[in-house]
Amino acid sequence: MKALEGVKILDFTHVQSGPTCTQLLAWFGADVIKVERPGVGDATRQQLVDVPGADSLYFTMLNHNKRSIELNSKNETGKEVLTRLIETCDVMVENFAPGALDRMGFSWERIQEINPKMILASVKGFGPGKYEDCKVYENVAQCAGGAASTTGFLDGPPLVTGAQIGDSGTGLHLALGIVTALYQAAKTGQGQKVLAPMQDGVINLCRVKLRDQQRLAAGPLKEYSQYGAGIEFGEATPRAGNDSGGGQPGRILKCKGWETDPNAYTYFITQAAVWERVCDVIGEPEWKTKEGYATPPERLDKLDEIFGRIEEWTMTKTKFEVMDICNPLDIPVGPILSTKEIMEDEGLRKTGTIVDVDHPKRGRYVTVGCPIKLSASPVEVTRSPLLGEHTVEILRDVLGYDGENLAKVVESGAVGNVDKKAAE
């Protein structure tokens, strides 16, 4: 039995934030029914297409383990089908623009009338307030949530990160909210609304930067490189380059081959507890006791020199050799892995974090599997659905349409161009 087996999710999401959430729930065993516009579907099906005639990787990699139904919710028969779906499902997930559900005739009040136990989960750009009607995409969320202002180097502009913390990060937050609401509904019999604004999700992931904002009132942030460089702090948490955020000095350093390989680098942390081992590894044993180097506070104004010396050593080793030497000594290091290296990593493939998936129109492709492993609910990643692939199956097996009633729905135009023979 899967962890969420028996839970039905009515998935009105599109692009990335919502589909990230519903894909995770599908991996845990929920029956995710993706509702798509007839003949069009999720916009990402046709975005960044690399194989003509096939759904894009943008779509396939965010919609595994789901079923697809085409449905025109503006059609009267379509509204009837949607009403039945709301009656039948446990959760509705949407990332429409504010007010879209109301305009469709399915306000929260109406949804509660249809199914009092329904959980309505929503992704929005901003929470209630002056920006709540603004359109938000990934990088906008990063900028509004404090990530961009604290990412980059002190003398450069704000930067967004390559990780999709605004979209996919919010989807993960929403999934947790849904599971929590399901647990509560099992006890109370009542549904509720779950809201995950993208700005809020990014702020949550930037928690340590808000920590540092408050610490500024007590003086400079001594673990930041700019302190050791004698650069004055301003009123807000600054950009800190590749400094470690946990109080232990750390930097990205060149490794052997950096001249031709853009990812021949390692992250190296000079953790206080292993300082003596660091000194031995890089060939500076006298630094263990030398005045100005022996204790962490003494080293703060010498970080450029110290990391310069460590880099002289790392440049003689590959990033993997640095790991092999440092890890047995408990010196915290990590190679800068390229996306190609990640996709080919045997360990990640063994755990199911990287998987191959076969698709009838695009062939085999590589995707990211479930990042959370449950010992009693293992995940098998199955391909994303073709547009409307399960329309008849859902109408018949989930909603109970058959015979004449099924034929009427098909003929109404509410569910796209369904093969009438399949509906017989």
Q: Is 377 annotated as a binding residue?
A: no
Contact 197, 127 (CB under 8 A): yes
Annotate 161-223 with DSSP letters as a single string.
-SS-TTHHHHHHHHHHHHHHHHHHHHHHS---EEEEEHHHHHHHHTHHHHHHHHHGGGS--TT
Amino acid (1-letter code) at residue 138:
E
SS3 272: helix
| Alpha carbon distance 18, 94 (integer Å) | 7
Q: Is 95 annotated as a binding residue?
A: yes
| Alpha carbon distance 67, 393 (integer Å) | 9
Contact 252, 267 (CB under 8 A): yes
- Catalytic: which of 167, 200, 212, 243? 167
| Alpha carbon distance 410, 142 (integer Å) | 43
Contact 199, 137 (CB under 8 A): no
CA angle 219, 225, 229 (to 5 degrees): 85
| Alpha carbon distance 229, 306 (integer Å) | 13
Q: Is 17 annotated as a binding residue?
A: yes
Q: Is 290 annotated as a binding residue?
A: no
Burial pattern 372-384, b for ≥16 Cβ within 10 A else e, equals: eeeeebebebebb
Q: Is 97 annotated as a binding residue?
A: yes
Contact 362, 54 (CB under 8 A): yes
| Alpha carbon distance 313, 125 (integer Å) | 46
Q: Number of C-alpha atoms within 13 angstroms, CB side, residue 60?
A: 25
Q: Is 103 annotated as a binding residue?
A: yes
Q: Is 167 a catalytic residue?
A: yes
Q: Is 247 annotated as a binding residue?
A: yes
SS3 269: strand
Torsion angle of the four alpha carbons 35, 93, 400, 5, in this order, in degrees rounded to the nearest 10: 120
Q: Is 229 annotated as a binding residue?
A: no
| Alpha carbon distance 243, 251 (integer Å) | 6
Using only C-alpha atoms, what is the Rg of the chain?
A: 26
**Antiparallel, parallel or unpaired: β 363-368 and 66-70:** unpaired
For the annotated binding site, the residues are 16-17, 37, 95-97, 103, 135-138, 246-248
For the annotated binding site for CoA, the residues are 16-17, 37, 95-97, 103, 135-138
Annotated catalytic sites, by residue? 167
For the annotated binding site for substrate, the residues are 246-248
